[in-house]
Amino acid sequence: MTHQLQGVPLNHYIWLSAIIFTIGVVGVLTRRNAIVIFMSVELMLNAVNLLLTAFSVHSNDPSGQVFVFFIMALAAAEVAVGLSIIVMVYRNTQSIDINVLNRLKW
């Protein structure tokens, strides 16, 4: 299995991750729904995970895959806190559209 994966050139992984990452960035910048923004952020993190794993397998160095575990664990913590913040905002405003959040001016 590892051999087959290593048959795929590293460049393909880099391009795939870069594209997924860019989709995430564009999603954060253009969407107005807090949950969708949040999902786009997760997309960015998962692009990073994929790329880290690819690099790690490519260079036979396990530390990259260990880093992936760190990212997963901390992303889960972030999800827990982030979703509760969104719930808190929803309770006060009955909306999760971030355009509601303009009480404070630029």
Partner 1 sequence: MNIIITIAVTALVVLYAGLFKAKKALLPITLIGLLTALGFVAVSWNTDQVYYGMMQMDNFALAFSGITILGTLFIFLLTQNYFAKDSENIAEYFTLILFALVGIVIMVSYKNMSMLFIGLEIMSVSLYILAGIRKSNFASNEASLKYFLMGAFSTGFLLFGITLIYGATGSFDLDAINNYLVGNYTSISPMFYSGLILMMIGLSFKIGAAPFHFWVPDVYEGSPTLIMSFMSTVVKTAGFAAFLRLFADTFAPLHDFWMPPLMVIVCLTLLIGNVTALFQKNFKRMLAYSSVSHAGYLLFSLIALTANSANNVLVYAAAYTFASIIAFGVLIIVKQKTGSDHFDSFNGLAKRNPLIAFVLTVAMLSLAGIPLTAGFIGKYLMFLNVMQEYQILLVAFAILNALVGFYYYFKVIVAMYFKEGKEIELETPAQYRVVLVLSVIITLFLGIYPAVILNLI
Q: Which residues bind partner 1 (CB under 8 A)?
A: 10, 14, 17, 21, 24-25, 28, 34, 37-38, 41, 44-45, 47-48, 51-52, 55, 59, 61, 63-64, 66-67, 70-71, 74, 77-78, 81-82, 85-86, 88-89, 92-93, 98, 101, 103-104, 106
55 in Cβ contact with 35 (< 8 Å): no
Judged by beta carbon, residue 6 or residue 59, the one nearer partner 1 is: 59
CB of residue 63 to partner 1, shortest distance in Å? 6
CB of residue 14 to partner 1, shortest distance in Å? 7
CB of residue 5 to partner 1, shortest distance in Å? 16
CB of residue 68 to partner 1, shortest distance in Å? 10
98 in Cβ contact with 34 (< 8 Å): yes
